[in-house]
Chain A
Amino acid sequence: MRGVPEARTVPRTVISGRRRLFDLGLSELRDYGELFFFLVWRDIKGRYAQSVLGVGWALIQPTLQMIVFTVIFGGLANIDSDGIPYPIFSYTALVAWNYFSNALSDATGSLVKDKAMMQKIYFPRMILPGSAVLGRLVDFFIALLLLVGLMVWYAIPPTPWVLLLPLFLVITMAAASGLGMGLGALAVQYRDVKHGLTFGIQLFMYAAPVVYPVSYVPEQFRLWYAINPMVGVIEGFRAALLGSTPMPWDLIAVGAVSSVVILSLGAMYFRSKERIFADVA
């Protein structure tokens, strides 16, 4: 029990101020896998602690949004929904969109939230935004369950493309992580990000086909429009689950490339800034 086990190899740590731009520190991230896991678990357990409805809130948010959108956009504004009932049309988009927006805002706030931890111990800082993005998956799957229920209710069978959902999820996670890392790193130094984000995400929702179909966007702008990775993801969700439109491969491809770019840029910016987190947070 006492003494240092002889078998343990002695790790050698070199501390210096040199920076390496393209070293994303991924191998180190692997060594901290368990911490990663525990932080995800902490986020999930902590989020709905001491609430009566608990994870029920993961259902209430999109459901109420769906009702409001159905009344306003489907009813009053009479927006076209590709021939499927407006509630399920908007809810399908909300499942993907809410995951993205929640993951993004959690990831952005993660560094400031855990700054006490950053100022007391060392760990690869990417774990914080990363665990925030993973932690929101629980909400996503719960919301997805309700979507299955709605599909049964409206008697809409899924298409075989449903097998592509994991791909859409990966694109969403990449975009949320990339943006979240970039904005999170910025938020450490400029708290304005926090104030702007809530509001920004609300506006940004209208730049994605959540309440309207892609067909509302003029043909010639669509590929530009698809630079927002959530365009391809949301339309892909609808095509796979509801079969309302053919699979929009072009939008998905543009979105996938864009999300990879966002992820890389976000990670690089994050790496270049992370050295100052503990100093300025």
Chain B
Amino acid sequence: MSEPAISVENLSKRYRIGVRNRRRDTLVGNAIEALSAPLRNLKRLARLSRFDENEDDRPDVVWAVRDVSFDVEPGEVVGVIGRNGAGKSTLLKLLTRIAVPTSGEAVINGHVSSLLEVGTGFHPELTGRENVYLNGAVLGMTRREISRKFDEIVDFSGVERFIETPVKRYSSGMKVRLAFSVAAHLEPEILLVDEVLSVGDWEFQKKCLGKMDDVARQGRTVLFVSHNQAAVTRLCSRILLMEHGCLVEDGPAHEVMSVYLRAGMGSMAEQSWPDPTTAPGADVARIRAARVVGEDGRVSDAVDIRRPIFLEMEYEVLRPGYLLQPNFTVWNAEEAVVAFAGVDLDPEWIDRKRPKGLYVTRARIPGNLLAEGMFTVDACMSTKRPVKAQFNADAAMAFHVVDPMDGTTARGDWAGRMGGVMRPKLEWATEYLGAGRDEEPVLVEEPVG
């Protein structure tokens, strides 16, 4: 057996967060406060890096990561999920050596690169070319490596015309493209991704996911921290669930995700893009939100198998006069497309050019159709004439179909494993056709009366 790519043993990290001093409300009190402020500040700042024994119960001491142990084998793609503040990002910071652990140990076998570092070290006064070299060096490439890949990097970024221009004249999109392009040409054996920390617009996040996918396909190791649970479920085979700094679940992706959802710890039924400038979209339409809604009109990520499910997308039409084609693609956990709901058949809009404004499009999936399990949905939009994609919000939402197991569903009273992408409640009918060929007729005694 080969050595694990990442081996973590009892890793812990303690932080002290600044706690505000209480304020006094008298004039004299305030005066004393002001005079003693430097002394207090000194104490406060000095304490940031000092910890006394048995201080764990104090309100300003936080164990961001506590006694976490796990191994990741080479080639595994592992997701890390958990609520905000569960310690996911800190774990990644420890593994990238940005922060130093308080105790415990981690061993990493292989070249590591992390997509947290996209664009780090870019200097606004330097040209695109110079920044490619600088950023490459920051990411651990040698000068020769960068020179060899330089043309490829620039090609991929699409900013070749401006490569001799200082980066401060770039649009933010160009900057991100160039930076990402450098990162995309790294060849790490282990890729650490923190989607929570990676700034950037939707396009960029999609590219990150794409890069992860590539890396994973090449048999390299990926550790992926994300809030996008749908994406984690789709990309990762195994999930680590963290809570209050501890590792609480570690197992196959769908099992852990179910635990997480059942515990009400997360929701992936809704996603919104509050900032219209970074929301996915093109010149005609931009998405605003996508959500899974139950029959009762409430956002829900666990849906009763018998009840209908509504997929919703909210979007803004920026330019009037186009025929729009909203569509949903529904994927199951095995990454099979269960349905490509490609045509908005609403007679009201099917042949009517849209005026500017906000819209919501809803598609109803009838009850007793999908099988149990996890489904992720892409919300996409294109114009019809000409056909041009406006947005493709991959894994915009996800939901869980749950069977209540009460005998009223397509399962009947069977409680074991059931295959199938669909679980329609078909119309069943059985007739008795009389006795078989070589057998004596069996007389069924009718009860008299």
Chain A residue with Cβ nearest B48: A280
Which chain B residues numbered 94 to 110 have a C-beta less than 8 Å away from chain A? 94-110
Contact of B116 among A120, A123, A280 (CB under 8 A): A120
Chain A residue with Cβ nearest B214: A2
User: Does B187 contact A4, Cβ atoms closer than 8 Å?
Assistant: yes
Chain A residue with Cβ nearest B149: A1
Inter-chain contacts of A122 with B (CB < 8 A): 96-98
A190 vs chain B, min Cβ distance (A): 6
User: Does A49 contact B112, Cβ atoms closer than 8 Å?
Assistant: no
Question: Given contacts A49-B166, A121-B117, is CB(A14)–CB(B105) below 8 Å?
Answer: yes
Beta-carbon contacts of A192-214 to B below 8 Å, as 1s and 0s?
00000000000000000000000
Contact of B97 among A11, A13, A189, A276 (CB under 8 A): A13
Query: Is A35 interfacial (CB-CB < 8 Å)?
Result: yes
Inter-chain contacts of A41 with B (CB < 8 A): 134
Which chain A residues numbered 1 to 43 have a C-beta less than 8 Å away from chain B? 2-5, 8, 10-17, 34-35, 37-39, 41-42
Which chain B residues numbered 379 to 395 have a C-beta less than 8 Å away from chain A? none
Inter-chain contacts of B11 with A (CB < 8 A): 15
Query: Is B125 interfacial (CB-CB < 8 Å)?
Result: yes
Inter-chain contacts of A16 with B (CB < 8 A): 101, 104-106
User: Does B138 contact A46, Cβ atoms closer than 8 Å?
Assistant: no
User: Does B108 contact A12, Cβ atoms closer than 8 Å?
Assistant: yes
Question: Given contacts A38-B134, A117-B138, is CB(A279)–CB(B99) below 8 Å?
Answer: yes
Query: Is A119 interfacial (CB-CB < 8 Å)?
Result: yes
Chain A residue with Cβ nearest B131: A42
Beta-carbon contacts of A252-281 to B below 8 Å, as 1s and 0s?
000000000000000000000101101110
A10 to B110: give the CA distance in the assembly, Å: 5
User: Does B107 contact A38, Cβ atoms closer than 8 Å?
Assistant: no
Contact of A4 among B46, B93, B114, B220 (CB under 8 A): B220
Max chain B Cβ within 10 angstroms of own Cβ: one of A4, A34, A49: A34
Query: Is B133 interfacial (CB-CB < 8 Å)?
Result: yes
B146 vs chain A, min Cβ distance (A): 9
A276 to B15: give the CA distance in the assembly, Å: 10
User: Does B97 contact A15, Cβ atoms closer than 8 Å?
Assistant: yes
Inter-chain contacts of B46 with A (CB < 8 A): 189
Inter-chain contacts of A118 with B (CB < 8 A): 98
Query: Is A50 interfacial (CB-CB < 8 Å)?
Result: yes
A30 to B89: give the CA distance in the assembly, Å: 29
Inter-chain contacts of A46 with B (CB < 8 A): 123, 125-126
Chain B residue with Cβ nearest A38: B137
User: Does A123 contact B108, Cβ atoms closer than 8 Å?
Assistant: no
Query: Is B444 interfacial (CB-CB < 8 Å)?
Result: no
Which chain A residues numbered 32 to 66 have a C-beta less than 8 Å away from chain B? 34-35, 37-39, 41-42, 45-46, 49-50
Query: Is B139 interfacial (CB-CB < 8 Å)?
Result: yes
User: Does A45 contact B49, Cβ atoms closer than 8 Å?
Assistant: no
User: Does A123 contact B104, Cβ atoms closer than 8 Å?
Assistant: no
Query: Is B45 interfacial (CB-CB < 8 Å)?
Result: yes
User: Does A34 contact B98, Cβ atoms closer than 8 Å?
Assistant: no
Which chain A residues numbered 135 to 191 have a C-beta less than 8 Å away from chain B? 189-190
Contact of B218 among A3, A12, A276 (CB under 8 A): A3
User: Does B130 contact A45, Cβ atoms closer than 8 Å?
Assistant: yes
Query: Is A116 interfacial (CB-CB < 8 Å)?
Result: yes
A137 to B355: give the CA distance in the assembly, Å: 63
A3 to B102: give the CA distance in the assembly, Å: 35
A45 to B129: give the CA distance in the assembly, Å: 13
User: Does A42 contact B108, Cβ atoms closer than 8 Å?
Assistant: no
Inter-chain contacts of B219 with A (CB < 8 A): 3
Chain B residue with Cβ nearest A122: B97
User: Does B96 contact A13, Cβ atoms closer than 8 Å?
Assistant: no
Contact of A15 among B49, B108, B134, B166 (CB under 8 A): B108
Question: Given contacts A5-B187, A120-B117, is CB(A45)–CB(B125) below 8 Å?
Answer: yes
User: Does A121 contact B126, Cβ atoms closer than 8 Å?
Assistant: no
A178 vs chain B, min Cβ distance (A): 21
Chain A residue with Cβ nearest B124: A46
A120 to B98: give the CA distance in the assembly, Å: 7
Inter-chain contacts of A273 with B (CB < 8 A): 49
Query: Is B361 interfacial (CB-CB < 8 Å)?
Result: no
Contact of A279 among B49, B111, B121, B125 (CB under 8 A): B49
User: Does A117 contact B121, Cβ atoms closer than 8 Å?
Assistant: yes
B59 vs chain A, min Cβ distance (A): 18
Max chain A Cβ within 10 angstroms of own Cβ: one of B105, B116, B138: B138
Question: Given contacts A10-B110, A276-B49, is CB(A15)–CB(B120) below 8 Å?
Answer: no
User: Does B97 contact A14, Cβ atoms closer than 8 Å?
Assistant: no
B337 vs chain A, min Cβ distance (A): 27
Chain A residue with Cβ nearest B15: A279
User: Does A50 contact B125, Cβ atoms closer than 8 Å?
Assistant: yes
A118 to B100: give the CA distance in the assembly, Å: 12
Inter-chain contacts of A11 with B (CB < 8 A): 109-111
Inter-chain contacts of A189 with B (CB < 8 A): 45-46, 48-49
Inter-chain contacts of B98 with A (CB < 8 A): 118-122, 278
Query: Is B353 interfacial (CB-CB < 8 Å)?
Result: no
A279 vs chain B, min Cβ distance (A): 6
Inter-chain contacts of B106 with A (CB < 8 A): 14-16
Inter-chain contacts of A35 with B (CB < 8 A): 137-138, 140
Inter-chain contacts of A39 with B (CB < 8 A): 134
User: Does A13 contact B138, Cβ atoms closer than 8 Å?
Assistant: no
Inter-chain contacts of B15 with A (CB < 8 A): 279
Query: Is B143 interfacial (CB-CB < 8 Å)?
Result: yes
Which chain B residues numbered 28 to 64 have a C-beta less than 8 Å away from chain A? 42, 45-46, 48-49
Query: Is B189 interfacial (CB-CB < 8 Å)?
Result: yes
Contact of A42 among B94, B109, B134 (CB under 8 A): B134
| 6 closest Cβ pairs, A-B complex | A49-B125, A122-B97, A275-B100, A38-B137, A15-B106, A16-B105
| Residues of chain A at the chain B interface (Cβ within 8 Å) | 2-5, 8, 10-17, 34-35, 37-39, 41-42, 45-46, 49-50, 116-123, 189-190, 273, 275-276, 278-280
Q: What are 24 residue pairs bridging A and B, where the CB atoms are less than 8 Å apart in the complex?
A: A2-B218, A4-B189, A4-B218, A10-B109, A10-B111, A11-B111, A13-B107, A15-B97, A16-B101, A17-B100, A17-B103, A34-B142, A35-B140, A41-B134, A46-B123, A117-B120, A117-B121, A118-B98, A120-B116, A122-B98, A276-B48, A278-B99, A278-B100, A280-B48
| Residues of chain B at the chain A interface (Cβ within 8 Å) | 11, 15, 42, 45-46, 48-49, 93-112, 114, 116-117, 120-121, 123, 125-126, 130, 133-134, 137-140, 142-143, 166, 187, 189, 218-220
